[in-house]
Structure 1
Amino acid sequence: MSGAPTRLVIVGRDAALWLSATVLRRALAQAGVSVVAVELPTELTPASAYASLPPLEALHNKLGLDEAALLRATGGSFSLGQNIVGPSRPFFLAHGSYGAPIDGGGFFPFWLKARQFGLEAAFEDFCLTAMAARQGRMLLPDEETELFGRTDYGYHLPALAYVATLKARASKLGIRVRHSRAIDVERQAESGAIGAIRLDDGTRIEGDLFVDASGAEAVLTDQSVDSWRSAFVTDRRLTARAAPFASVPAYAEIRAGSSGWAALHATQAGTYVTHAFASRDQDDEAAFAAAEALTCLKLSDASISSVEPGIRNQAWTANCVAIGASACVFDPLFDVELHAIQLGIVHLLSLFPVASTVAAERTEYNRITRSAFERVRDFQSAFYAVNRFGSSGFWSAAHNATAPASVAHKIATFRARGDIAPMEDESFAPDLWQALFIGLGEVPESWPPAIDRTPPERMKEDFRRILSFIKRKVLEQPTHDVYLRSLCRSEAA
């Protein structure tokens, strides 16, 4: 290859393939970069669904995907966060900020101090997004809410319909699409760079830069992996679906059971369920029965797959870049699959080579994606490490698993004074970490002494002001059901 790469070949399947192809094509077409997408057989089933974090909305906007049209086409829904249900009081992990500044300082220390002196309002009561979700409302930002704090949302999207939407978008962008059940890879002996791939019909496709979006199979990528097994006990994942709820909740729900947890993702099209468990505790048949008991739903289209969390030693080797599960496989908790795909795509775009020599870009891509993926892993690991969901085999093993040193440091710092140790490349905001720890029963020993200068009456006044504002704004919002119906009606109009 001489000069900047202009022939981009993406090999993969499902959302990883089509998000990579559409985003890279749209961003790089004016630079003369052509894109060939080689589609491998899908790994999705009728029970597969994607749950997204808030940044996906911005990516859709860059692709020109109309939100209303997307939700109509997929039968999807909005999500304002995740409701965690265990033996004690449920708590909410919201896609939005908690509280508002008091006397020029962060909200959490004031709430923490007030709880020590008898404040009954929970941390999530001061989160506009959480309260809207609890009341079955959609949250439509306006000037007041923007001034109050961050209010975000994600989506629940039936996977087959979502992938079909992305694939249709790829066709409109002029992406060349080929299909193959398997591929052969031609590599240069000295450098290990890929010169071409050969499809099952004999077609040979050359490229300058290759993207592996094939999932955990990683058909193009260096197979060496740093395992995260020591931090996670889940090694099996069941997916299934049930009938839609009469009223579609604007959030996901994670229910902790004795042998694992089950996540419910409600959409207009149906209710999609993930049950995470350990094979040493139960076999697949028992897991299906446990999932039905935990969700209280009649499940269908069930399938079970292995889970082996870990990260590639290098996501970018030679002239091949791994995206999504080809680069990193996560525990199923909190549905970070689409987010990981997006992180890889965004960083590849920011570091797309401008010359034939790619060593600097490759090194930085590997550094920043590893850092970002480890921070996502940390949030998942912390949930297990501090869980108080009982002494059953699953939760006891999860609690006693070897958490990464960065997680142990975050836990220790929070326990000392409620602080969240800042780290680079975080995907989850400090107040979401605080909501996680508080929800799981962690109580810091103290708070920053600087807040003691604020008079108690000032604190009480601000607490009342925040709660009053949240109550008023939540009641102004349409219900999630009404808002979804309004999107459907807009098609007919």
Structure 2
Amino acid sequence: MSVVAILGRDAPLWLTAAALRRALAPGGVEVCAVALPGDAAPGDVWRAWPGIEALHARIGIDEAALLRTARGAFTLGQSIGDASGAGQAPLLLAHGGIGTAVAGEDFFPHWVKARHRGLGAGLDDFSLTATAARQGRLFLPDAASARYGRADYGYHLPAAGYAKSLKAIAAHLGVRVFEAGAVAAERDGAGIAALRLDDGTRVEAALFVDATREGALLRGALGEAFEGWDAPGDRMLTALAPRGATVPPCAEVRAGADGWTGLYPALTHVHVAHVWRDASDEEALRAAAAASGLELEAVAVRGVAPGAASRPWTANVVGVGEAAAAFDPLHGFALHGLQLGLVHLIACFPADGAMAARRAEYNRLMTMHVARVRDFEVAYFALQRHAGAFWDTARALPRSVELAHLIALFRARGEIAPQEGESLPPDAWRALLTGLGVVPEGWRPSADRLADETAAAHFRAMLGFVREQVLRQPTHDAMLARIARRG
């Protein structure tokens, strides 16, 4: 196999092209990118989970340069609370680990036992990143924090700037670029032989990658089935708002009776998203402005239609990103889903004559990984306690057998059932479930080997370490200013 052609637009196209070129060029594979007209709105922002840093590093992306060029910012996670300020306290889903080993054993069972014995410290109190976020600071990992546990961060990357940066990198790596207003697929039996561009250019390849939002090749040309998922919202508005005096180190989601509004701080603006159902666009804009308390501009609206392709790799077409699986926007898994597809495509890349087995493995892996991420989304919707018709609909979403088992086992003894295809760390699940009120009724018996007084001493030492480390960290604004000065 010598040529891979990618059809797409904006950041998904260029990230896919750069990643495949970097991985496959040593084997003599040529990568062609067929770029359709961009459709990213000014307010669109990519919410990158920490894992994207590894993919960026593999491609050769410099973090500081990317943030300067894309006008992005760091994020330690997101806080979800009621827009009214009433109800339960906001749930902070911070990136990174929680706690450190107690007498050589997992922290969490000891924390569960101590909570049952009256410990007042919450799970977040043992998280470096959660504590930093609450104090308006960033957390930069170092050797000391690494010994304690993971202190990860993600990014808010404005869509236009991110795409521009990635396109330049893809071109630098040697990706052949074709621009097209429209593309027609030429069929060859079950698969595709070539893409014919509107200027008459014909792009042939042995393997085609569909990186379009709508699945133009996978669903459009090949007719592959796409299973839609039930979701509480079906419309999303994005907009820009002026940034405040400081750039918060995490996102904030405000849940209203008829939907939710997300505020995603970046270097020059706050990117605002609003998801709803059963209201006009004008009503949604008023709701977003009221919930955010900001003046909104560059407003754009699109549909929300989460779901997944039955077979993301069909014949000689591989779907990545939203062509393979479109997630609900609440938790910002779009870029995470694209990364999953790229990692598994590279791992399963077909040697000549071996496509069938690798295609089957890609479909198996992606089906599992997508299902686990979807379970995380449904867990929040099913267990949240926000008021309103939107959230009543969310609570009624069907739970998979695997999710029901995971919740039941966690409730019984604080265990996260290990599952193949899990891409989210156990601490993300622990923060989600405990934050939504699922209190484990028991704990791993090994925690009983440690005396309560000894465990309490460990907890005091942890809390002191967290406080000390967080006080050493820069504010988000100071870190962004430092990056800007390097440019």
Q: TM-score range by the shorter chain?
A: over 0.9
Match of 2:298 among 298, 301, 319: 301
1:390-421, Cα deviation, whole Å (9 max, x unpaired): 2x111111111212222212111122122111
Whole-angstrom CA distance in 2 between matches of 1:328 and 1:35: 23
Which SS does the other structure have where 1:294 is aligned?
A: helix
1:119-175, Cα deviation, whole Å (9 max, x unpaired): 221110100111111112121222111100111111001110110001111121222
The 10-residue stretch of structure 1 (217-226 or 41-50) with the greater mean CA deviation from structure 2: 217-226
Whole-angstrom CA distance in 2 between matches of 1:441 and 1:284: 34
Give the structure 2 partner of residue 489 of structure 1. Answer: 485
Q: Is the 8 A contact 1:216 1:329 kept in 2?
A: no
Give the structure 2 partner of residue 88 of structure 1. Answer: 88
Aligned: 1:11 with 2:7: yes
In the alignment, residue 466 of structure 1 is paired with which amino acid?
Answer: M
Give the structure 2 partner of residue 206 of structure 1. Answer: 204
Shift of 1:228: 4.2
Which SS does the other structure have where 1:333 is aligned?
A: helix
Shift of 1:220: 4.3
Aligned: 1:118 with 2:114: no
Aligned: 1:398 with 2:394: yes
1:198-237, Cα deviation, whole Å (9 max, x unpaired): 001111111111111111243344444353433x222111
Q: Is the 8 A contact 1:262 1:295 kept in 2?
A: yes
Aligned: 1:266 with 2:262: no
Give the structure 1 partner of residue 468 of structure 2. Answer: 472
Whole-angstrom CA distance in 2 between matches of 1:325 and 1:7: 23
Match of 1:382 among 379, 387, 392: 379
The 3 A distance-change label for structure 1 pair 62 and 206 is: same
Whole-angstrom CA distance in 2 between matches of 1:166 and 1:13: 11
Which SS does the other structure have where 2:118 is aligned?
A: coil
Whole-angstrom CA distance in 2 between matches of 1:399 and 1:148: 36
- Runs of 4+ with deviation above 4 angstroms: none
Shift of 1:490: 1.2
1:275-304, Cα deviation, whole Å (9 max, x unpaired): 12223xx22222111111211111111111
Whole-angstrom CA distance in 2 between matches of 1:78 and 1:129: 12
Give the structure 2 partner of residue 171 of structure 1. Answer: 171
The 10-residue stretch of structure 1 (164-173 or 443-452) with the greater mean CA deviation from structure 2: 443-452
Count of matched residue pairs:
481
* TM-score computed with the length of structure 1 as normaliser: 0.95
Give the structure 2 partner of residue 415 of structure 1. Answer: 411
Whole-angstrom CA distance in 1 between matches of 2:256 and 2:110: 34
Match of 1:44 among 30, 40, 43: 40
Give the structure 2 partner of residue 30 of structure 1. Answer: 26
In the alignment, residue 385 of structure 1 is paired with which amino acid?
Answer: A
Q: What does residue range 49-448 of structure 1 map to in structure 2 within 5 Å?
A: 49-86=45-82, 87-189=87-189, 192-221=190-219, 222-230=222-230, 232-279=231-278, 282-390=279-387, 392-448=388-444
Whole-angstrom CA distance in 2 between matches of 1:150 and 1:135: 18
Which SS does the other structure have where 1:70 is aligned?
A: helix
The 3 A distance-change label for structure 1 pair 226 and 211 is: closer
Which SS does the other structure have where 1:297 is aligned?
A: coil
Whole-angstrom CA distance in 2 between matches of 1:13 and 1:131: 38
Q: Is the 8 A contact 1:388 1:441 kept in 2?
A: no
Q: Is the 8 A contact 1:46 1:301 kept in 2?
A: yes
1:359-404, Cα deviation, whole Å (9 max, x unpaired): 00000000001111111111111000111112x1111111112122
Gaps of 5+ in 1: none
Whole-angstrom CA distance in 1 between matches of 2:351 and 2:226: 30
1:422-461, Cα deviation, whole Å (9 max, x unpaired): 1112121112111101111222222223312321111110
Whole-angstrom CA distance in 2 between matches of 1:218 and 1:333: 25
Q: Is the 8 A contact 1:234 1:277 kept in 2?
A: yes
In the alignment, residue 475 of structure 1 is paired with which amino acid?
Answer: L
Which SS does the other structure have where 2:365 is aligned?
A: helix
Q: Is the 8 A contact 2:218 2:314 kept in 1?
A: no
Which SS does the other structure have where 2:132 is aligned?
A: helix
Gaps of 5+ in 2: none
Whole-angstrom CA distance in 1 between matches of 2:403 and 2:225: 21
In the alignment, residue 370 of structure 2 is paired with which amino acid?
Answer: F
In the alignment, residue 407 of structure 1 is paired with which amino acid?
Answer: L
- What CA RMSD, in Å, does the superposition of the two structures yield over aligned residues? 1.4
* TM-score computed with the length of structure 2 as normaliser: 0.96
